[in-house]
């Protein structure tokens, strides 16, 4: 349940921020855009432990953000489930951003421009045209982000640690069960997370095929 809670919260955050930044950057061309996009996608190519180390530097007791949170709000991020959410957000954000960016980039801008010429606001254009048309790609990113957040281990271990009842997600439960020789327990959780991941991918493939068939039927 803790794994689902962390993955669910992080997916909501990633979906909102990923869609926002992907839509914002898809509409603008400026110097340094490629640098920003590279930073967004950087967690995809970095080892999870490196990502976790960076988060520890930021959110630790003596970190830039962590020290301010403790001083101003008396909130500690390290060794809490909130830290696990932050780690999950960072590692799954690139998947959502990439999917959303591709979805927005593939849209025909003529429909959006036509709506603007008829007096529609940017928010109305996004809500009634851009978002519905990009939804298949956004949903794919949403599902993949959830699956990635559910399976996150390295960065979570670095930032949130392993505290039974507080930060013991399924991947960490598997690792520490193996470390302590509890192979039956590890096998149980492996089966659970493989089943969840497999079901997620199967559903996404089924939904994509069904959506493609509807698209083809609508154009024949």
What are the tens digits of pLDDT across the range 193-220? 999 888 888 888 887 777 766 655 655 4
- Residues of the chain with pLDDT > 90, as a percent, come to 59
For residues 189 and 170, the answer to whether their CB atoms sit within 8 Å is yes
Q: Is the pLDDT of residue 56 over 60?
A: yes
List of residues 6+ apart from 149 with CB closer than 8 A: 6, 7, 10, 11, 14, 88, 89, 91, 92
Mean pLDDT, rounded, of the chain: 89
Q: Could you tell me which residues come within 8 angstroms of residue 122 by beta carbon, excluding any fewer than 6 positions away?
A: 116
Under the banding of pLDDT at 50, 70 and 90, the label for residue 14 is very high
pLDDT of residue 216: 56
| Residue 165 reports pLDDT greater than 70 | yes
Mean pLDDT of 63-92: 92
Higher pLDDT: 28 or 125? It is: 125
Among 160, 161, 150, which residue's Cα sits nearest to residue 200? 150
In this predicted structure, which of 24-33, 146-155, 207-216 has the lowest mean pLDDT?
Answer: 207-216
**Torsions phi, psi of 120, nearest 5?**
-75, 140
Tokens 């957000």 sit at which residue?
89
Q: How many CA atoms lie within 13 A of 71 on its CB side?
A: 10
Is residue 107 classed as helix, strand or coil in its secondary structure? coil
The answer to whether 59 and 134 have CB atoms below 8 angstroms apart is no
How far is residue 175's CA from residue 94's CA, in Å, rounded to a whole number?
25
In the block, residue with structure tokens 């919260």:
9
Percentage of the chain surpassing pLDDT 70? Answer: 95
Of residues 26 and 12, more confidently modeled: 12
Q: Running DSSP on this structure, what letter comes out for residue 27?
A: T
Decide which of 214 and 92 is more confident.
92
Dihedral (CA of 167, 140, 100, 48) sign: positive
Inform me whether the pLDDT recorded for 149 exceeds 70: yes
Lowest mean pLDDT among 6-10, 138-142, 160-164, 168-172: 160-164
Q: Domains for the chain: give ranges and CATH numbers.
A: 2-163 (1.10.3720.10)
User: How many angstroms separate the first and last alpha carbons of the chain?
Assistant: 46
- Write out the H or E segment, with its range, that includes residue 165: none
Sign of the Cα torsion 58, 63, 66, 69 reads: negative
Q: What is the mean pLDDT of residues 100-120?
A: 89
Predicted pLDDT at 217: 63
pLDDT tens string 170-179: 999 999 999 9
pLDDT of residue 195: 92
């Amino acid at each position: 349940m803790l794994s689902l809670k962390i993955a669910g919260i992080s997916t909501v955050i990633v979906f909102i921020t990923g869609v926002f930044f992907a839509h914002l950057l898809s509409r603008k061309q400026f110097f340094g855009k490629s640098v920003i996009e590279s930073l967004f996608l950087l967690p995809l190519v970095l080892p999870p432990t490196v990502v976790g180390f960076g988060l520890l530097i930021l959110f630790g007791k003596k970190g830039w953000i962590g020290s301010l949170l403790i001083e101003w709000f008396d909130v500690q991020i390290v060794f809490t489930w909130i830290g696990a959410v932050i780690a999950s957000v960072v590692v799954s954000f690139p998947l959502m951003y990439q999917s959303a960016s591709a979805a927005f980039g593939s849209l025909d801008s003529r429909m959006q421009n036509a709506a603007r010429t008829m007096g529609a606001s940017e928010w109305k254009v996004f809500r009634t045209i851009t978002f519905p048309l990009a939804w298949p790609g956004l949903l794919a990113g949403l599902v993949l982000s959830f699956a990635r957040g559910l399976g996150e281990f390295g960065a979570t271990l670095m930032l949130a640690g392993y505290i039974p009842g507080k930060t013991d997600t399924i991947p960490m439960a598997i690792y520490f069960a193996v470390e302590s020789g509890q192979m039956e327990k590890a096998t149980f959780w492996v089966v659970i997370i493989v089943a969840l991941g497999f079901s997620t991918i199967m559903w996404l493939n089924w939904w994509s095929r069904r959506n493609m068939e509807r698209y083809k039927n609508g154009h024949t």
